[in-house]
């Protein structure tokens, strides 16, 4: 392969300059050379030399070409050619003259400027349409290919200087026709943008991409993700358990409908999100029409040319979405009430807006195993913190108003609102109130008579077993947990040990001073173990497997030495010995490589 003026001949292409480099491949700007001095610029993606002879990576590249090459949509980058030069396999794709969304967001962050709302909504709408084209893809025989991108993020969205929005990189996409099969328990994609089911390495369908698109839109609107941390363990925990706050909490000018559509896309359960990317794109289109009617490619091109100078663009780091240890950004304090009924009202597709059906059957390695006759794998997913409060208005049942915490889903206040009394209802209530007062007086009289006759009623003293909260208050978020090696997290509020009630014998001496003096806490008889892994794993303590896989939070064990064995979904193991003191909380974290 000869080089001339920093250019290199590559088959029938001429490599001009590198555009980027990933874990398995590199991308070059190239020219397609033909007769009559024909020239056309393309992007060449070729495997790195160390993977050129690896059959698995070659098949992954062919899978990407097969999927992307079958999609014919203006919001998906087009694949032109698939081939091999010497030992190097490559894909030739259309060259998009522009910048990726991650660079745009990083540039605005350095300039301390927000992305305009219209720009964010237009980009998300285009990505949703491109995703829907992939999700509804069929093969030559008309069979659904069940494509799932699995890596929707700002790094994989290109913005051309002509105002086009292109979804790229189907390198980790999943489809029914893939030559490669992802091992059970292996996570593919960027963890920061993954849906809960994808982060748990469970089967995924198109709704996992809807969640990732919601995360991308959130990042465009707010400049940060709703779930963050200083390491992957903290992010993993927040994705599984934390409830996203409305974007307007960080950026007040975000409209109510945009808040609702983002929160619906980010629901933990796939059945509660938008069921197709097309459905989400249509709701975004409605929100954009109310904000800036007619916004499209010309307006985006004008914004890129005017507000994004060439010299301000640079490649953001891969860990751009991790929170630094000294991040001063405060946590949300309060948010408006966004119950399910309100979100449904604001994001409902009106009658007559027909949706294109999408095949949502989950695709992963297990489906292939089942077709081959292997026994299916059953695992219990960890619980998600879902809370739905629907106030009931009735003449006989009090109405309850509740405010929910957008970051945790916990009820923060519950105030009964009683209907105004009227008519016979007031009379019946007065009768029962008077009857209750009479009964209370009668019981008091009986107690006094019993005391005078010598049959004294002695109180019962309750001994409360000490809890770890007594020694140190629980942390509210994983980011407050002292880091260990590897970094550890506490994934949910602690569980209190049982309270033991012991009655004092009637013969025991009783005095006012001893009854009012505080009791000394008993010595703890238990310790608590929290286990977090990437990806999920079964936990064995002293040879006994626990009933659920990770994350395991505050599992009560006896103090002393224990052997903990972690077994991932694909059989990888990690063993560690721990020594717990009475009342201690210990977190074990491990990332399988």
Give CA–CA dist 587/577, Å, rounded.
Answer: 12
Q: Which residue in this structure is represented by tokens 């029938």?
A: 12
Distance of CA 520 to the CA centre of its chain: 44
Q: 306 or 422, which is more confident?
A: 306
Q: Is the pLDDT of residue 17 over 60?
A: yes
Strands 165-167 and 157-160: antiparallel
Report whether 212 contacts 154 (CB < 8 A). Answer: no
Give the number of other CB atoms < 10 A from CB of residue 456.
11
Question: What order of strands is seen across the sheet that includes strand 585-591?
Answer: 552-557, 527-534, 585-591
Q: Which residues contact 576 (CB under 8 A, 6 or more apart)?
A: 563, 564, 566, 588, 590
Q: Where are the domains of the chain?
A: 1-95, 98-323+336-371, 387-418, 522-593
Say what the pLDDT of residue 316 is: 54
Confidence of residue 127 (pLDDT cuts 50, 70, 90): very high
The verdict on domain 522-593 having CATH code 2.60.40.10 is yes
Q: Mean per-residue pLDDT for 190-197?
A: 89
Q: Locate 87 and state its tokens.
A: 């030992």
Give CA–CA dist 432/430, Å, rounded.
Answer: 6
The verdict on domain 1-95 having CATH code 3.40.50.720 is no
Report whether 90 contacts 46 (CB < 8 A). Answer: yes
- The secondary structure of 21-59, three-state, reads ECCCEEEEEEEEEECCCEEEEEEEEEECHHHCCCHHHHH
Say what the pLDDT of residue 108 is: 92
CA nearest to 347, candidates 457, 277, 259: 259
- The secondary structure of 397-463, three-state, reads CCEEEEEECCCCCCEEEEEEECCCCCCHHHHHHHHHHHHHHHHHHHHHHHHHHHHHCCCCCCCCCEE
Give CA–CA dist 246/258, Å, rounded.
Answer: 9
Confidence of residue 321 (pLDDT cuts 50, 70, 90): low
At 242-282, the pLDDT tens digits run 889 999 999 999 999 999 999 999 999 999 999 999 999 99
At 97-121, the pLDDT tens digits run 999 999 999 999 988 999 999 999 9
% residues pLDDT > 90 (the chain): 32
The model's pTM is: 0.63
What percent of the chain is helix, strand and coil (3-state, nearest 5)?
A: 30, 20, 45
Give CA–CA dist 390/377, Å, rounded.
Answer: 37
CA nearest to 479, candidates 195, 239, 235, 193: 235
Give CA–CA dist 393/251, Å, rounded.
Answer: 33
Q: 547 or 411, which is more confident?
A: 547
* Structural Rg of the chain based on CA atoms: 30
Give CA–CA dist 11/177, Å, rounded.
Answer: 29
Does 522-593 match 98-323+336-371 at the fold level? no
CA nearest to 203, candidates 439, 18, 376: 376
Question: Which residues carry out catalysis?
Answer: 151
At 516-532, the pLDDT tens digits run 455 555 667 889 898 88
Q: Locate 181 and state its tokens.
A: 């099969």
Cross-strand partners of 574 = 566
At 560-589, the pLDDT tens digits run 999 999 988 778 889 999 998 898 888 888
Q: State residue 464 phi and psi, 5-degree precision.
A: -95, 120
Give CA–CA dist 306/298, Å, rounded.
Answer: 12
pLDDT, the chain, mean: 74
Report whether 283 contacts 274 (CB < 8 A). Answer: yes
At 73-97, the pLDDT tens digits run 999 999 998 888 888 889 999 999 9
Q: Which residues contact 413 (CB under 8 A, 6 or more apart)?
A: 401, 402, 403
Give CA–CA dist 234/221, Å, rounded.
Answer: 22
Q: Which residues contact 505 (CB under 8 A, 6 or more apart)?
A: none
Q: Mean per-residue pLDDT for 424-440?
A: 67
Confidence of residue 355 (pLDDT cuts 50, 70, 90): low
Give the number of other CB atoms < 10 A from CB of residue 270.
21
Question: What order of strands is seen across the sheet that includes strand 98-100?
Answer: 98-100, 157-160, 165-167
Confidence of residue 313 (pLDDT cuts 50, 70, 90): very low
Q: Locate 324 and state its tokens.
A: 């630094």
Helix (H, G, I), strand (E, B) or coil at 369: helix
At 435-468, the pLDDT tens digits run 777 877 777 776 565 555 544 444 333 333 344 4
Report whether 122 contacts 285 (CB < 8 A). Answer: no
CA nearest to 548, candidates 383, 431, 411: 383
Q: 128-132, 238-242, 252-256: which range is least confident on average?
A: 238-242
CATH class of the region 98-323+336-371: mainly alpha
Say what the pLDDT of residue 34 is: 74
Helix (H, G, I), strand (E, B) or coil at 487: coil
Say what the pLDDT of residue 377 is: 33
CA nearest to 566, candidates 581, 585, 580, 552: 552
Say what the pLDDT of residue 468 is: 44
- Give the Cα-Cα-Cα angle 465, 237, 330 (nearest 5 degrees): 90
Say what the pLDDT of residue 450 is: 56
Helix (H, G, I), strand (E, B) or coil at 255: coil
Give CA–CA dist 34/423, Å, rounded.
Answer: 93
Confidence of residue 376 (pLDDT cuts 50, 70, 90): very low
Distance of CA 588 to the CA centre of its chain: 22
Q: 467 or 293, which is more confident?
A: 293
Report whether 568 contacts 511 (CB < 8 A). Answer: no
Exposure class string for 138-163: b at 16+ Cβ within 10 A, else e:
eeeeeebbbbbbbbbbbbbbbbbeeb
Q: Locate 321 and state its tokens.
A: 């979405």
């Amino acid at each position: 392969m000869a080089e001339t003026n920093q250019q290199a001949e590559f088959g029938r292409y001429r490599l001009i300059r590198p555009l980027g480099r990933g874990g398995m491949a590199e991308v070059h700007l190239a020219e397609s050379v033909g007769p009559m001095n024909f020239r056309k610029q393309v992007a060449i993606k070729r495997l790195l030399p160390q993977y050129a002879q690896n059959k698995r990576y070659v098949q992954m590249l062919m899978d990407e070409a097969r999927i992307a090459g079958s999609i014919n949509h203006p919001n998906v980058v087009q694949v032109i050619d698939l081939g091999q030069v010497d030992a190097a396999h490559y894909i030739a794709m259309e060259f998009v003259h522009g910048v990726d969304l991650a660079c745009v967001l990083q540039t605005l962050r350095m300039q301390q400027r927000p992305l305009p709302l219209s720009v964010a909504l237009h980009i998300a709408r285009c990505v949703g349409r491109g995703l829907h084209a992939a999700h509804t893809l069929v093969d030559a025989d008309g069979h659904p290919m069940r494509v799932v991108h699995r890596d929707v993020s700002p790094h994989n969205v290109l913005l051309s200087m002509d105002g086009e929005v292109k979804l790229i990189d189907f390198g980790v996409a999943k489809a029914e026709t893939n030559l490669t099969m992802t091992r059970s328990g292996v996570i593919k994609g960027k963890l920061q943008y993954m849906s809960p089911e994808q982060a748990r390495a469970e089967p995924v369908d198109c709704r996992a991409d809807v969640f990732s698109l919601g995360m991308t839109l959130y990042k465009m609107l707010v400049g940060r993700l709703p779930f963050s941390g200083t390491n992957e363990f903290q992010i993993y925990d927040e994705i599984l358990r934390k409830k996203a706050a409305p974007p307007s909490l960080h950026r007040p000018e975000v409209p109510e409908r945009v808040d609702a559509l983002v929160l619906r896309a980010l629901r933990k359960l796939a059945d509660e999100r938008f069921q197709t990317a097309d459905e989400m794109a249509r709701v975004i289109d409605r929100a954009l029409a109310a904000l800036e009617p007619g916004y499209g490619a010309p307006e985006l091109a004008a914004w890129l040319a005017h507000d994004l100078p060439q010299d301000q663009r640079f490649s953001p780091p891969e860990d751009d979405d991790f929170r630094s240890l000294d991040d001063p950004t405060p946590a949300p304090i309060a948010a408006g009430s966004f119950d399910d009924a309100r979100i449904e009202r604001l994001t409902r597709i009106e009658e007559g807006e027909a949706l294109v059906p999408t095949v949502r059957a989950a695709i992963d390695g297990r489906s292939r195993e089942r077709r081959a006759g292997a026994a299916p794998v059953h695992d219990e997913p960890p619980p998600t913190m879902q809370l739905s409060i629907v106030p009931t208005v009735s003449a006989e049942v009090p109405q309850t108003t509740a405010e929910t915490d957008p970051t945790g889903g916990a009820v923060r206040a519950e105030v009964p609102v009683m209907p105004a009394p009227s008519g016979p209802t007031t009379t019946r209530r007065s009768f029962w109130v008077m009857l209750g007062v009479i009964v209370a007086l009668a019981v008091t009289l009986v107690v006094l008579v019993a005391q005078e006759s010598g049959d004294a009623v002695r109180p019962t003293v309750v001994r409360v077993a000490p809890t770890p909260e007594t020694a140190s208050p629980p942390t509210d978020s994983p980011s407050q947990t002292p880091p260990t090696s590897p970094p550890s997290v506490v994934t949910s509020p602690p569980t209190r040990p049982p309270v033991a009630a012991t009655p004092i014998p009637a013969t025991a001496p009783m005095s006012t001073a001893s009854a009012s003096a505080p009791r000394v806490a008993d010595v703890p008889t238990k310790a608590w173990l929290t286990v977090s892994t990437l990806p999920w794993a079964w936990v064995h303590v002293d040879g006994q497997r626990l009933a659920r896989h990770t994350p395991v939070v505050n599992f009560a064990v006896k103090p002393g030495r224990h052997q903990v064995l972690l077994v991932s979904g694909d059989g990888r193991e990690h063993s560690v010995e721990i020594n717990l003191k009475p009342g201690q909380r210990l977190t074990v974290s491990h990332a399988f490589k």
